Amino acid sequence: MKINFKEINICLAGNPNCGKSSLFNNLTGLKQHVGNYPGVTVEKKEGSLVRDGYKINVVDLPGIYSLSASSQDEIVARNFIIDEKPDLIIDVVDSSNFERNFYLYTQLSEIGIPVIIAMNMTDVLKDKGREIDYNLLMKNYGIYAVPTVANKNKGTEEIIKAVIDVYERRIKIKGFKIEYGDTISEELKKIEEIIYEDILLSRKYSAGYIAANLLKEDKFVLDKISKSHVEHKLTKQADESKKIISEKFSDNVDSVLADKIYSWIHSVAAVAVKTVAKSKYDVSDAIDRIVLNKLLALPIFALVMYAIFKFTFTLSEPVVGWFEKGIEFLSVNAAKVIPNGLIQSFIVDGIIGGVGGVLGFFPLILFMFFAIAFFEDTGYMARAVFIMDRFMRKFGLHGKSFASMIIATNGCAVPGLMAARTIENEKDRLITLMVTPFMICGAKLPIFALFIGAFFAAKDGANIMFIMYVLSVGLALTAAWILKKTILKGEPAYFIMELPPYRMPSLKGILLKMWERGFMYLKKAGTVILLMTVLIWAGLTFPQNDNQNADISEEETAAVQIEKSYIGRVGNFIEPVIKPIGFDGKSGIALIAGLAAKEVVVSTLGTMYALGEVDPEDAAPLAEKLHNDPSWSKLKAVTFLIFCLIYLPCIVAVAVFFRESGSKIKWLAFLAFWTTIAAWIVSFIVYQGGKILGFGG
């Protein structure tokens, strides 16, 4: 039996960081990524729920401060609200920042769609010692607000009930109006009357919205009326009205209107928001006085990153050891059970050697994501963006670029690239897209962990990782600066960043984030990495080199097989190009295979070393094999890591880059060219320089 639900379409609108995505997740049961810095939600996301015979479709929109949009993500939100006309808007308001958040409400309420306020962050409001009088809001202003604490899933049922109540008109939201005063109201009315002459136009868009925005010369609205037969009359009236208003108030219309709206908001807040206790917020401000201090900010940020790596490496070391032991056990026993031959080689050298090598680092990934989630949820990562914005502006760079870079470090370059959409300026956005892939994303992490583990003492692990992190940020900033000075010249744009107050993160929240990101890693291991491993194994195993030579040892036979295989031939072919930077064909192959996904660098090396092994029963962790291979050295390892920092991002990131940079082959070619050349040159300098300085060959 098919049940036909009546559908209610609602959307969540609100300023960035007010908790829209959290509420969306509560409503729909989906897991939209939540984070307290701008750029986390850059596309609209859809979900639904079923209640009381209704199917409620929910759309989560990117954060906006007003309906006069300028950046791509804002345009997405604005166009949805105005053009797709949901049945109902839920305006998510950060109640602890009532006045600032309320500006959007004044605009949303003009559109002519019922608006329910989800008065979110009421926990923070309470900590600030304040309370909101909901009855008064409804009685005096016709504002319907429902308190929520979205990150604790509080108030969700009440919101759902409110949606149905309003939809069924059990609760009527009377069209609330801003008190503009006589002059402005009269002028607005004159314009509205003309709008009503065009029935189609006035049916499609609310007259109040069009009238107010004509006064503001909003391009979007000018465009909407451009096809109307009253266009001329409208613009003429708007011009007259603007003149009357600006003469009366001796100021330009924009500021007169803004002034009216803000003083109105202020008067609403004054009666509806009550102070009932002492604020706990002074603590957050006190912390910020130190954390954001001009001199201390950068060192503290460095310290936090160092702490993350120290935590990750120190705690994961034994656990990674157990995992490696487990995989070794598996490998040895599989070799015992499965008879010698291709199948044994496929399972032991291919799958276990390759995918197993990547899975060995799973605990490290979890520890790292745990530490990052902790700082993210306290509110520190938002400060990091703020601090770097201040720093980067000195070089003419955009602070939002760093938000992209942090998102990439916190997991994957793809969401980092997407976050660049919040940057309005085209050139700044391109620069950000070009440099974000330099960051050490979760996929590159195992490569770093592998080589650091193989060539450095355990106690130095965090230090080396930290140096690599600083290097990656330094490289990205330098590259951005060069681009800004050369092909992508332009003025930096300003951006105002809302800093969330510090919060005590919940263990559950951190574990959830850790798992969400960790699971991606596992999923990749079971898909892309597995597939690549099979291909690499096959490429190294075929064609079979039957020419058994009794004179050479088994070990040499294995080496000859690799040498003569399809992939081995490719390796030999590219070797001359990478010889000057210290790599042999094997590492070259690993790097190329890594374009599918960066973890594949590790799995490929794993398969290669497993195949080169004579007796599968004395399997050792990959790090140990690398360490014992005389063709590797500390200097080569460091050069290899630096190359990995810079060279072409993985295929998924490249595809996203292509889309986000406007699908222009020009930029794609530029990215490919620039990262490859830069990787080679920097590696050359490091390797040859290192040799000259006597760090070995």
The backbone region for 58, taken as left when phi is positive above 0, alpha when psi lies in -120 to 50, beta otherwise, is beta
The helix/strand/coil state of 274 is strand
CB of 36 to ligand GDP, least distance (A): 4
Quick one: tokens of 570?
């490719």
Q: Which CB sits closer to ligand GDP, 120 or 432?
A: 120
CB of 356 to ligand GDP, least distance (A): 36
Q: Is the dihedral of CA 465, 470, 471, 473 positive or negative?
A: positive
Q: Which CB sits closer to ligand GDP, 123 or 218?
A: 123
Q: Dihedral, CA atoms, 416, 421, 422, 425, nearest 10 degrees?
A: 120
Q: Which CB sits closer to ligand GDP, 34 or 591?
A: 34
Q: Which CB sits closer to ligand GDP, 359 or 384?
A: 384
Site for ligand GDP in 518-537 (CB under 6 A): none
**d(C-alpha 96, C-alpha 612), whole Å:** 63
Span from 34-42, 282-290, 593-601, 666-674 in contact with ligand GDP (CB under 6 A):
34-42
**d(C-alpha 205, C-alpha 618), whole Å:** 74
Question: What secondary structure, in 3-state letters, does 609-673 show?
Answer: HHHHCCCHHHCCCHHHHHHHCCCCCHHHHHHHHHHHHHCCCCHHHHHHHHHHCCCCHHHHHHHHH
Per CB under 6 A, does 39 bind ligand GDP? no
CB of 17 to ligand GDP, least distance (A): 4
Site for ligand GDP in 172-201 (CB under 6 A): none
CB of 2 to ligand GDP, least distance (A): 34
Options 27, 34, 58, 433; binder of ligand GDP; rule CB under 6 A: 34
Nearest to 177 by CA among 140, 202, 217: 140
Quick one: tokens of 444?
């590159």
CB of 140 to Mg ion, least distance (A): 31
Amino acid at 371: A
Backbone angles phi, psi at 346, to 5 degrees: -60, -50
Q: Which CB sits closer to ligand GDP, 100 or 310?
A: 100
Backbone angles phi, psi at 130, to 5 degrees: -125, 165
Q: Which residue is nearest to Mg ion (CB)?
A: 41
Site for ligand GDP in 474-513 (CB under 6 A): 503
Q: Which CB sits closer to ligand GDP, 513 or 586?
A: 513
Per CB under 6 A, does 245 bind ligand GDP? no
Options 36, 228, 422, 425; binder of ligand GDP; rule CB under 6 A: 36
The backbone region for 417, taken as left when phi is positive above 0, alpha when psi lies in -120 to 50, beta otherwise, is alpha
Q: Which CB sits closer to ligand GDP, 185 or 506?
A: 506
101 binds, among ligand GDP, Mg ion, none (CB under 5 to 8 A by kind): none
Q: Dihedral, CA atoms, 626, 632, 634, 635, nearest 10 degrees?
A: -150
User: What contacts 228, CB < 8 A, 6 or more positions away?
Assistant: 198, 200, 201, 234
Cα distances from 395 to residues 301, 398, 480, in angstroms, run 19, 9, 9
305 binds, among Mg ion, ligand GDP, none (CB under 5 to 8 A by kind): none
The helix/strand/coil state of 314 is helix
User: How big is the site for ligand GDP, counted in residues (CB under 6 A)?
Assistant: 22
CB of 503 to Mg ion, least distance (A): 17
CB of 92 to ligand GDP, least distance (A): 6
Span from 16-24, 92-100, 347-355, 379-387 in contact with Mg ion (CB under 5 A):
16-24
Per CB under 5 A, does 565 bind Mg ion? no
Q: Which CB sits closer to Mg ion, 41 or 156?
A: 41
Q: Is 489 exposed, middle or buried (0-12, 13-18, 19+ CB in 10 A)?
A: exposed
**d(C-alpha 238, C-alpha 188), whole Å:** 9
x/- mask, Mg ion, residues 34-73, rule CB under 5 A, reads -------x--------------------------------
Per CB under 6 A, does 621 bind ligand GDP? no
Options 8, 10, 19, 106; binder of ligand GDP; rule CB under 6 A: 19
Site for ligand GDP in 120-149 (CB under 6 A): 120-121, 123-124, 149
CB of 148 to ligand GDP, least distance (A): 6
Span from 119-127, 252-260, 435-443, 476-484 in contact with ligand GDP (CB under 6 A):
119-127
The helix/strand/coil state of 169 is coil
Per CB under 6 A, does 16 bind ligand GDP? yes
CB of 90 to Mg ion, least distance (A): 13
CB of 24 to ligand GDP, least distance (A): 7
CB of 64 to Mg ion, least distance (A): 11
120 binds, among Mg ion, ligand GDP, none (CB under 5 to 8 A by kind): ligand GDP
Cis peptide bond prior to 630, omega within 30° of 0: no
Please compute, for residue 475, the number of CA atoms within 13 A of its CA located in the half-sphere on the CB side.
Answer: 26
Nearest to 587 by CA among 617, 632, 620, 534: 632
Q: Which CB sits closer to ligand GDP, 381 or 590?
A: 381
CB of 562 to Mg ion, least distance (A): 49
**d(C-alpha 92, C-alpha 133), whole Å:** 17
Per CB under 5 A, does 151 bind Mg ion? no
Site for Mg ion in 22-41 (CB under 5 A): 41
Q: Which CB sits closer to Mg ion, 13 or 483?
A: 13
Options 26, 28, 41, 241; binder of ligand GDP; rule CB under 6 A: 41
Radius of gyration of the chain (CA): 30
Options 10, 11, 17, 442; binder of ligand GDP; rule CB under 6 A: 17
Contact status, residue 188 vs residue 260, Cβ threshold 8 Å: no
Contact status, residue 46 vs residue 87, Cβ threshold 8 Å: no
CB of 18 to ligand GDP, least distance (A): 5
**d(C-alpha 105, C-alpha 95), whole Å:** 12
CA 674 to mean position of chain CA atoms: 24
Per CB under 6 A, does 608 bind ligand GDP? no
Q: Which residues form the interface with ligand GDP (CB under 6 A)? A: 14, 16-22, 34-36, 40-41, 63, 120-121, 123-124, 149-151, 503
Which residues of the chain form contacts with Mg ion (CB under 5 A)?
21, 41
